[in-house]
């Protein structure tokens, strides 16, 4: 489905580690077709700095590899009404969003589950399959991770986490249609 069309839930919208809002075609710009790019197009007056200040979120200890910008730990949430804007991909020296290892991805998920426990406000939470879009994964050998594997990692990470959304509310993972992907193949 399309996470931007989901209603009556908190929607997780993944940004990069610096909460970049510039949409465009340059390497460091937000891809206009990504979830973040579509979100920014729908919210052209979004004042990210004001939201960060209102949420009283502290930046990460280290700076981004991209232009030494202020960065936030992957998994950090900035609330914007029913939308939960999340710092996600780390930026390399050229501004390309990527994760350098599966361990970093799992650390991000661990922080996300903690954050969601604080921000879900007795509502269901919709989250996309994180990393299935334009984010690259290196892991030292440049191998990509399939949408199926990302979904499996998200599910297992959530199952193993002590931070949960309390029943009757649910965590809903929103999946894009893809010929090489099926919910019937989870954990296979």
* Tens-place pLDDT, residues 138-152: 754 445 677 888 889
Distance, in Å, from the CA atom of 159 to the CA atom of 138, rounded to the nearest integer, reads 25
Q: Cα separation of 151 and 174, whole Å?
A: 10
> What percent of the chain has pLDDT above 70?
87
Q: How far apart are CA 3 and CA 154, in angstroms?
A: 16
Helices (H), the chain: 35-42, 48-55, 102-119, 147-160
Per the DSSP assignment, residues forming a β-bridge with 12 are 84
**Whether the Cβ atoms of residue 76 and residue 109 lie closer than 8 Å to each other:** no
Find the range with the poorest average confidence among 9-13, 30-34, 77-81. 30-34
Task: Compute the average pLDDT of residues 124-135.
Answer: 85
| Residue 45 confidence (pLDDT) | 95
Tally Cβ neighbours within 10 Å of residue 94: 11
Residue 125, H or E segment: strand 125-128
Quick check: 177 pLDDT over 90?
no
User: What are the tokens at 10?
Assistant: 């908190």
Round to whole Å and give the CA distance between 110 and 106. 6
Q: What is the pLDDT of residue 121?
A: 87
* pLDDT over threshold 70, residue 135: no
Beta-strand relationship, 77-80 and 83-91: antiparallel
Q: How far apart are CA 13 and CA 35, in angstroms?
A: 7
CA distance 99 to 90: 6
């Amino acid at each position: 489905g399309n996470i931007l069309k989901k209603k009556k839930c908190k929607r997780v919208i993944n940004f990069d580690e610096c909460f970049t809002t510039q949409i465009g075609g340059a390497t460091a710009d937000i891809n206009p077709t990504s979830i973040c790019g579509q979100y920014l197009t729908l919210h052209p007056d979004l004042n990210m700095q004001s939201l960060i200040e209102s949420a009283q979120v502290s930046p990460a200890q280290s700076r981004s590899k991209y232009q030494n910008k202020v960065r936030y730990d992957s998994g950090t949430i900035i609330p914007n009404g029913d939308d939960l804007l999340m710092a996600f991909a780390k930026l390399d020296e050229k501004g390309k969003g990527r994760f350098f290892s599966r361990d970093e991805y799992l650390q991000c998920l661990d922080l996300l589950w903690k954050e969601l426990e604080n921000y879900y406000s007795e509502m269901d939470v919709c989250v996309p399959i994180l990393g299935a879009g334009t984010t690259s994964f290196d892991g030292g050998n440049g191998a990509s991770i399939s949408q199926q594997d990302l979904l499996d990692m998200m599910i297992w990470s959530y199952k193993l986490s002590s931070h949960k959304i309390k029943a009757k509310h649910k965590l809903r993972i929103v999946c894009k249609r893809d010929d090489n992907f099926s919910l019937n193949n989870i954990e296979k």
